[in-house]
Amino acid sequence: MPRAAAILREHGRTMIILLTCESGELFQRCFHQYFNALVTLHILSGSVRQNTTLPDDFPINHISGSFVNMVRWWLKNDMKQSPEEIAEYFATVIQPVV
C-alpha cells in the first residue's frame, strides 16, 4: 500500500479542508469514484476472484468505501498514525476481500 501512504502524506491537509467544508459530501462522492478506478487498476487487476456470486463492482465499491471512511477516521483523530501505518491498517482490513 505504498501508493495509499503517498497519497495520504501528500494530500492529508487538503483532505481535511475538503472533507470539512460545505461541499464535503460532494468531495467524498468524487473521492470515492476516483478511488474506484485506483482499486480496479492497482488492487484488483490480475487477481482471481474467490467469490463469483458477488456483482463485479461490489468489491470495488466496498474497498473504496473502506478507504474513504478510513481517511475520514484518520483525519478526525488528528492523523496520529503515519500514512504508512494507515496504509498498513488498510491493507490488513482489505486483504480478506482481495
What's the CA gap between 91 and 4, in Å, rounded? 10
* pTM (whole model) above 0.75: no
pLDDT score recorded for residue 48: 67
For 32-74, how does the pLDDT look when each residue is reduced to its tens digit (9 = 90+)? Answer: 788 888 888 877 776 666 667 778 788 888 888 888 888 888 8
What's the total number of domains in the chain?
1
Enclosing domain of residue 13: 2-46+53-94
Q: How many Å separate Cα 53 from the centre of its chain?
A: 24
Whole-number percent of the chain with pLDDT over 90: 3
What's the CA gap between 19 and 30, in Å, rounded? 11
Per-residue cell: 70: 478510513
What's the CA gap between 62 and 22, in Å, rounded? 25
pLDDT score recorded for residue 47: 67
Q: Which residue has the higher pLDDT, 51 or 79?
A: 79
> Is residue 1 predicted with pLDDT exceeding 60?
no
What's the CA gap between 51 and 30, in Å, rounded? 28
Q: Position 55: which residue type?
A: P
Per the listing, cell 484488483 goes with 44
- When pLDDT is cut at 50, 70 and 90, the band that residue 89 belongs to is very high
Q: How many Å separate Cα 79 from the centre of its chain?
A: 15
State the average pLDDT over residues 14-31: 73
